[in-house]
Amino acid sequence: MGARVPARSVSARVGRWSLRVHRRTALLSASALLAAGALLAVSLCTGSYPVAPSAVLRALFHGTGDRLAVHFVNQERLPQALLAILVGGALGMSGAVFQNLSRNPLASPDVIGFNSGAATGAILVLVLGGGAAPVAVGAIGGGLVAATVVFLLANSGGLHGVRLILIGLGVTAMLGSVNSYLLTRSSLHDAQNAHIWLIGTLNGRSWGAVQTIAVALAVLLPATLLLGRQLRILEMGDELAQGLGVRVNLTRIALTVLGVGLCGVAVASAGPVPFIALAAPQIALMLSRSPGVSMLSAGAMGAALLSGAHLFSGQAMGWFAAIGLVGEQQQDSQLPVGVTTAVLGGAYLAWALFRRRRSTQG
Amino acid sequence: MRTEGTTSRMRREVHDTALATEPSKSAVRGPGQRPTTTRTVLRGSGLLLLCTLLFLLVLLSIWVGTKGTSAAQVWHALWRDDGSYTTDVVRQLRLPRTLVGLLVGAALGVAGALMQTLTRNPLADPGLLGVNAGASAAVVFAIGVFGLGDFIGLVWFSFLGAAAAAVAVYALGASGRAGPTPMRLTLAGAAVSAGLGGIIAGLTVFDAATYDYLRFWMVGSLAGRKPELVLDLAPFVLAGLLGALLLARSLNSIALGDELGKGLGVHINRTRGLTVAVVTVLCGTATAAAGPIGFVSLVVPLVSRWLAGPDLRWNLPYCMVLAPVLVLGADTVGRVVLPEGELEVGAVTALVGAPVFIAMVRRRRGSAL
């Protein structure tokens, strides 16, 4: 990949904890977070009911002005835009954890069957007639059960990477089929609801969802950042890491738990939004030209990506209606964000292939 | 670049270990050397045994159903049309369903084996070529945008969708200087599938009627297939199977590595292109006829490699027989397992196939697959 920029880094020290950050990585993380903030600001003003920036500020800080504007800004757009940042950050970091652990750039939490288990749990709850909160609980429960089963099945005789992926694949395929079957046996209304959940959406989420994921991230985020450092040592090989005093198996298990936790809170809040966990770490890696995937930049990149996708999804139906792709009656409905990220994901992979076309390693 | 390097290395490792632990060494032999006679006899008799099993399953599949008819009645109805109700059921429902299962199974099994050899990845699935996503997207377009409702029309539509997606994947994967390498094809398939998945989601999210069709199509079923469908499918499947057998020798050489294959006189890129075409025809037909039936094209080639060794000249015939055994067996079980109604064949293959697959991974300590 050409000459590598010598690792310039900045470090921060708090007591006995120190954090060394590659300079370009730090810069990238900061700009990605800034971009996410800017996208949030834009998304507060836009939508099927546009609100002027001054009116947004009034609504935010004084709660005064047009009652509809106050409601839209404070009760719908702000929580959903914040959720986009938090969910995107959690997905990006969880992707970085799994890609580092499996040393496979295509790995994501799906590998260990989490998402398909979460889908089974959520569909079951939806079919039995549960609301948003029970669905989230069902999703986390189902995801954890599936991930645990995959681990137990794979774990006799060491946590071998390939074996884990193979068994994850088997469990995923089986659950996918169970999910398809459940969808055919429920009423069309329930199935359609489950379908939207499975695509991944932020629509209709409110402050409750933001609070839940914020509390969870307050625990998971610092832990992941701290353990991420050990991950860098693990990359050098188990024996070397052991020699450097890292408890290899313990670290690996702790990181897996954190990765599953991050993915779990994201899926519980917004459904299995595709592509962010896969691409955010890789895009961050490409832009920062750092030697390994950094948790911080992957998270920041995920937040920016999902914020952008969220902003686009809010506008898309209006644009589609304007060019006659969808009927007038649908122009005010919001596209689930998962649709946008899936199409983006395809475009990203195709672009990555195309870009590699000219390189020597083609 | 880092992406490609690590993943392909990993996949190669999987492949290498798969070959290394294989009991048979016939693929490592030069093309001129013949396998020992005892092996040939063993493999031949194994194939014969499987054919007998398949024949029995075909009869069972025609016989078993929700309407209780005796085996003698069914046998009679097969040979003479006496205009009775039983004859109608057997000739209009059971027989077409069984034949569609036979064709779909053979197509999926062989497509899987070709795909795994082509990508040098024992976990490859024709779905990686974007066939399933293409077929699903075509079904969604046909119903949601063009308002198409008739079944045979949808079959053709999904076949074209599968073919278009596979062509797009191949074009994207082959666009580099290195040509259609396994890794590029896999990534291109992921890209096209992801994009199409998003489009399918976008088209169905506000369109309940289309989604209603899609959710039943997605499971994979053989129920209610008409006799005409068999005649529509058969030429495609038979041509695809023949093409696969003709490609077996060249693919055997490519499996040894690009350099060695070239040295053995194989035109690498042409063989890859032809293989993708055959996989598309086989898998496109199967998916169009029965929806995306999972696991058959993944697990059957694994079992067949385990029984017959990696030599495709034996492996492919084994797949042709083993896969319909799985599909017809699953379909027959699905008809009787529920107290009321049926379990779709796609659901049964996954529920039976996945535990078998996991058990194999565990038994072989994760290396032999």
Q: Could you list the residue range(s) of the whole structural domain that residue A109 is in?
A: 84-357
Chain A residue numbers with beta carbons less than 8 Å from the beta carbon of B354 are 170-171, 173-174, 177
Q: Which of A165, A339, A344, A351 to mutate against chain B (most B CBs within 10 Å)?
A: A339
* Predicted local distance difference test score (pLDDT) of residue B14: 41
Asked if the structure places residue B245 within a domain, the reply is yes
Tell me what percent of the residues of chain A surpass a pLDDT of 90: 32
* Minimum distance, in Å, between the CA of residue A299 and any CA atom of chain B: 19
CB contact under 8 A, A169 and B123: yes
Query: Which range, A81-85, A189-193, B365-369, is most confident?
Result: A81-85
CB contact under 8 A, A173 and B6: no
Asked if the structure places residue A57 within a domain, the reply is no
- Does residue A61 register a pLDDT over 80? yes
Asked if the structure places residue A222 within a domain, the reply is yes
Give tens-digit pLDDT for B217-259: 888 889 888 888 899 889 999 999 999 999 999 999 888 888 8
Give the Cα separation of B232 and B235 in Å (integer). Answer: 7
Indicate the range of A13-27, B310-324, B328-342 predicted with least confidence: A13-27
CB contact under 8 A, A170 and B367: no
Of A180, A335, A357, the CB nearest to B218: A180
* Predicted local distance difference test score (pLDDT) of residue B367: 40
Give tens-digit pLDDT for B36-76: 688 888 888 999 999 999 999 999 998 887 666 777 878 88
- Does residue B316 register a pLDDT over 90? yes
* Closest residue on chain A to B221 (Cα): A181
Asked if the structure places residue B125 within a domain, the reply is yes
Chain A residue numbers with beta carbons less than 8 Å from the beta carbon of B365 are 157, 163
* Predicted local distance difference test score (pLDDT) of residue A323: 77
* Minimum distance, in Å, between the CA of residue A87 and any CA atom of chain B: 19
Give the Cα separation of A102 and A92 in Å (integer). Answer: 16
Tell me what percent of the residues of chain A surpass a pLDDT of 70: 88
Asked if the structure places residue A252 within a domain, the reply is yes
CB contact under 8 A, A342 and B198: yes
Asked if the structure places residue B187 within a domain, the reply is yes
Chain B residue numbers with beta carbons less than 8 Å from the beta carbon of A1 are 1-2
Q: What is the mean pLDDT of residues A120-137?
A: 84
- Does residue B29 register a pLDDT over 70? no
* Closest residue on chain A to B356 (Cα): A170
Q: Could you list the residue range(s) of the whole structural domain that residue B317 is in?
A: 100-363
Chain A residue numbers with beta carbons less than 8 Å from the beta carbon of B219 are 177, 180-181, 184
Please name the amino acid found at residue A7.
Answer: A
Q: Which of A4, A177, A289 to mutate against chain B (most B CBs within 10 Å)?
A: A177
CB contact under 8 A, B195 and A343: yes
3-state secondary structure of A14: strand
Asked if the structure places residue A289 within a domain, the reply is yes
Asked if the structure places residue A14 within a domain, the reply is no
Q: What is the mean pLDDT of residues A231-246?
A: 76
Of B184, B188, B366, the CB nearest to A160: B366
CB contact under 8 A, A184 and B206: no
Chain B residue numbers with beta carbons less than 8 Å from the beta carbon of A359 are 1
Cα–Cα distances (Å) from A196 to A190, A202, A275, B204, in that order, read: 10, 10, 16, 9
Give the Cα separation of B225 and A80 in Å (integer). Answer: 46
In total, how many domains does chain A have? 1
Average pLDDT of the residues of chain B: 82
CB contact under 8 A, B4 and A356: yes
CB contact under 8 A, B3 and A282: yes
3-state secondary structure of B220: coil
Asked if the structure places residue A105 within a domain, the reply is yes
Asked if the structure places residue A1 within a domain, the reply is no
Give the Cα separation of A230 and A216 in Å (integer). Answer: 22
Indicate the range of A124-138, A186-200, A340-354, B279-293 predicted with least confidence: A124-138
* Predicted local distance difference test score (pLDDT) of residue B330: 93
Chain A residue numbers with beta carbons less than 8 Å from the beta carbon of B123 are 166, 169
* Minimum distance, in Å, between the CA of residue B141 and any CA atom of chain A: 13
CATH number for the domain including B167? 1.10.3470.10
Asked if A89 and A299 touch (Cβ cutoff 8 Å), the reply is yes
Asked if the structure places residue B178 within a domain, the reply is yes
Asked if B274 and B243 touch (Cβ cutoff 8 Å), the reply is yes
Asked if the structure places residue B38 within a domain, the reply is no
Asked if the structure places residue A120 within a domain, the reply is yes
CB contact under 8 A, B194 and A354: no
CB contact under 8 A, B193 and A346: yes
* Minimum distance, in Å, between the CA of residue B137 and any CA atom of chain A: 13
CATH number for the domain including A222? 1.10.3470.10
CB contact under 8 A, B194 and A345: yes
Which of B343, B257, B276, B288 has the alpha carbon at shortest distance from B12? B257
Asked if A80 and A202 touch (Cβ cutoff 8 Å), the reply is yes
In total, how many domains does chain B have? 1
Q: What is the mean pLDDT of residues B76-86?
A: 80
Q: Which of B16, B358, B367 to mutate against chain A (most A CBs within 10 Å)?
A: B358
Query: Which range, A38-42, A345-349, B3-7, B353-357, is most confident?
Result: A38-42
Of A157, A274, A353, the CB nearest to B194: A274
Across the A/B interface, how many CB contacts are shorter than 8 Å? 188
Q: What is the mean pLDDT of residues B268-297?
A: 89
Asked if the structure places residue B6 within a domain, the reply is no
* Predicted local distance difference test score (pLDDT) of residue A21: 67
* Minimum distance, in Å, between the CA of residue A312 and any CA atom of chain B: 13
Please name the amino acid found at residue A319.
Answer: W
Asked if the structure places residue B272 within a domain, the reply is yes
Asked if the structure places residue B89 within a domain, the reply is no
* Closest residue on chain B to A2 (Cα): B1
CB contact under 8 A, A167 and B362: yes
Q: What is the mean pLDDT of residues B103-128?
A: 87
CB contact under 8 A, A353 and B361: no
* Predicted local distance difference test score (pLDDT) of residue B155: 86
Whether the predicted interface score ipTM is above 0.85: no
* Minimum distance, in Å, between the CA of residue B33 and any CA atom of chain A: 34
Three-state DSSP string of chain A: CCCCCCCCEEEEEECCEEEEEEHHHHHHHHHHHHHHHHHHHHHHHCCCCCCCHHHHHHHHHCCCCCHHHHHHHHHHHHHHHHHHHHHHHHHHHHHHHHHHHHCCCCCCHHHHCHHHHHHHHHHHHHHCCCCHHHHHHHHHHHHHHHHHHHHHHHCCCCCCHHHHHHHHHHHHHHHHHHHHHHHHHCCHHHHHHHHHHHHCCCCCCCHHHHHHHHHHHHHHHHHHHHHHHHHHHHCCCHHHHHHCCCCHHHHHHHHHHHHHHHHHHHHHHHCCCCCHHHHHHHHHHHHHCCCCCCHHHHHHHHHHHHHHHHHHHHHHHHHHHHCCCCCHHHCCCCCCHHHHHHHHHHHHHHHHHHHHHCCCCC
Give tens-digit pLDDT for A251-288: 888 888 899 899 999 999 999 998 899 889 988 988 88
- Does residue B23 register a pLDDT over 80? no
CB contact under 8 A, A167 and B361: yes
Chain A residue numbers with beta carbons less than 8 Å from the beta carbon of B294 are 173, 176-177
